Amino acid sequence: MEIDLEKENKEILRRYRKLLRDAKPIMQEGDPQIIKKAFYTALEAHKDMRRKSGEPYIYHPIAVAQIAVEEIGLGTTSLVSALLHDVVEDTSLELRDIKRDFGPKVAKIIDGLTKISGVFDSRSSLQAENFRKMILTLSDDVRVILIKLADRLHNMRTLDSMPRDKQLKIASETIFLYAPLAHRLGLYAIKTELEDLYLKYTNTERYSSIAQKIKQTQAARDKFIRDFIVPIHDSLTKAGLKFTIKGRPKSIFSINKKMDKQGIGFEEIYDLFAIRIILDSESDQEKSDCWKAYSIVTDFYKPSPDRLRDWISTPKANGYESLHTTVMSSSGQWVEVQIRTQRMDDIAEKGYAAHWKYKESPNNANGKVSTKVSGLEQWIQKVRDMIERNDYSALEFVADFRQNLFNEEVFAFTPKGKLVTLPNGSTALDFAFEIHTEIGVHCLGAKVNHKLVPLSHKLNNGDQVEILTSAKQKPSEDWLKFVVSSKARARIKDYLKDDRKKIAAEGKSIVERKLKQIKKDFNAESLQKMLSYFNAKNAIELYIDVAKEIVEAKDIKKAFEAPVHVSSKRITEEVIAVNPDTAIKQIQDGGGLVIGDNLKSVDYSYAKCCNPIPGDDVFGFVSVSEGVKIHRTSCPNAVELMSHYGYRVIKVRWANQTDLPFQAAIHLKGADRVGIINDVTRVISNELKVNIRSILINTNDGVFEGKITLDVQDARQFDRLCMKMKTIPDIISVSRII
């Protein structure tokens, strides 16, 4: 296909000029020249490069800069960094060139955005290493993360042109790390779009179905919203409040999540949208105006007492502020109402960048507004604390980062009334370590709301906690089973590591003495013999076992009397460790793996965690020791596998014909009446001629739930069976068990 270069150049300039127009409000003296220089540097560096879609590569950095300015609200330094974010990684330009031409700040940001190069073995995760490198720069400059989110958002928006295996890998990384990170930085709009795009590429059918149904119900929804807000609108106006009201549909991702969690269809979800009241208030009137608006709403509609959320008095850790209530409309439908000010809405949509805009604004520079960003500052401080622990492996770092910094919070109080914020699910022991490491190390128990509780007691919002300590108390391995905060886990691991060192030193002395007795030298050869004989992973493990008398000192002599043999298991593992990379290349070069072609040129098996059947959307994962594992893209483990080890994911497709039966399981729920199980088995066996392998049914208070395992030919037959079973009278829900 012939490329019209003149047309492309005009389009590049059009996009660049739009970027300049949108960036005008943030520009200071000298900024246009710097931006122009960055644009032409990027244009020259990427001049011979094209994206998978065939478009000029420069479209991408311009789009990332556009998102950074327009959708996040960042400044000139970020815009320049966004334009140049790929030049060091993908072109001949080096970091020192960037530093020379654009200064150390831009160079630092681009360094944080540049992926790690080098060779990684099959057990490590390149994705995790890159994520850790990027997060390390958060300590210096949060703009690295914000530009990375802009970069990821544009990649997700243009994922259509990528091959299927790359789509799955990028989408899984996004839902695993980047969407939660956007949420934590308060970028609600970006987080929502990333989640929706993830669903679009991993479960296209469900995404399209929900999107279509939202579109079909749009007119009815608009009419409902108009009728709902009429009385509120008049009363808010009479109260002298300046405001705007809008209806916001729930995201496709959140609707899908609710459908899966509750096992219900689209039609059964009542809260498809929320009403948002945005007030134009002075900073010192914000709280009282929001509660005034709440009072007006509840004058007309009865609120659900369990559904009031006051995020204004106690903002979320990402700085989110809003009043949420759910009220009963005159048509008998529950409606969520969100009440917030314009400042709060900006922060909810644009997050971190909006915080600092309001914090630095001379109109909002009073102490009250500044303190409202402290939750986010505390979160960033926690990230810095994590970063200081540099003995993490990359995967441990990512796991800890997700667990502690993406979770919602629980708020508890000290006996003197000081507020302590912890990750959701935290225990009394987490609370102790949050107060002080020494208190945590010697924590014996706690009093929660004046009642004695064990260390593992989970805290609830509003609990008042008093920690009990003892000088004799010390951490044990068991403590790691019930703490969730990164601070507590890190301190316990540090203590246990020091303890292990002392025990290992003691064991080493015993080994040295015993070797002296039997007249053997203490060297590498002797150590290898003992490790092989006692099947110990390493010298430290052996010394600890000796110190704890798991290995008795008198048995050390036997290690030198036993015949020498090499463990075949170890050799196998070493050979296989190289194979995944070779296997991946061979399969990818061959156009992917075809399941059921009877060639069996590749050893593959079906993952037990999700039991795929023909017709399911699947991918292959090259394992270290069990060949290729076939997983469904909706498998509970899919996101983690693809986000950590995306380079081991391969394209897989089903052969056109397969006569082998596949196991699949159905979860049934219904009213418990005489003959209902007979109706179910009749439909399965007689009408659809499907073999039943097992049935397990429980009944409780007139409702039955059950699991039926079947032999099916493919996903189409399974879906047909589920649809047929939903037509049986008194069946409430039918769903597939993963």
Enumerate the active-site residues. Answer: 89-90
Angstrom distance (rounded) from CA 154 to CA 475: 47
Burial 571-588 (b: 16+ CB within 10 A, else e): eeeeebeebbbebbeebe
- Helix segments in 118-262, DSSP class H: 126-136, 143-157, 164-173, 179-184, 188-202, 204-216, 218-238, 252-262
Angstrom distance (rounded) from CA 512 to CA 523: 10
Query: Among all chains, which residue has been given the structure tokens 């394992």?
Result: 623
Angstrom distance (rounded) from CA 504 to CA 480: 21
112 — phi, psi (to 5°)? -65, -30
Contacts of 656 (CB under 8 A, 6+ apart): none
Longest dimension (CA), the chain: 98
- Nearest alpha-carbon partner for 97 in 110, 82, 79, 113: 110
DSSP E strand stretches across 454-542: 463-469
CB 731 within 8 Å of CB 670: yes
CB 398 within 8 Å of CB 451: no
Angstrom distance (rounded) from CA 154 to CA 8: 19
DSSP E strand stretches across 37-79: none
Contacts of 330 (CB under 8 A, 6+ apart): 301
Contacts of 204 (CB under 8 A, 6+ apart): none
Question: What string of DSSP letters covers 213-255?
Answer: HHHHTHHHHHHHHHHHHHHHHHHHHHTT--EEEEEEEPPHHHH
214, two tokens: 């939202």
CB 448 within 8 Å of CB 457: yes
CB 423 within 8 Å of CB 484: yes
Count Cβ atoms below 10 Å from residue 17 Cβ, excluding itself: 10
Contacts of 615 (CB under 8 A, 6+ apart): 654, 714, 715, 716, 718
Angstrom distance (rounded) from CA 338 to CA 96: 49
Read off the amino acid at residue 372: K
Radius of gyration from C-alpha coordinates of the chain: 30
Count Cβ atoms below 10 Å from residue 717 Cβ, excluding itself: 19
SS3 at position 542? helix
Instruction: Give the CA angle between residues 245, 272, 304 to the nearest 5°.
Output: 75
CB 687 within 8 Å of CB 731: no
38, two tokens: 């960055």
Class of residue 447 by CB neighbours under 10 A (exposed 0-12, middle 13-18, buried 19+): middle
Angstrom distance (rounded) from CA 102 to CA 96: 10
Angstrom distance (rounded) from CA 465 to CA 428: 7
Class of residue 160 by CB neighbours under 10 A (exposed 0-12, middle 13-18, buried 19+): exposed
424 — phi, psi (to 5°)? -60, 140
- Nearest alpha-carbon partner for 109 in 97, 95, 130: 95
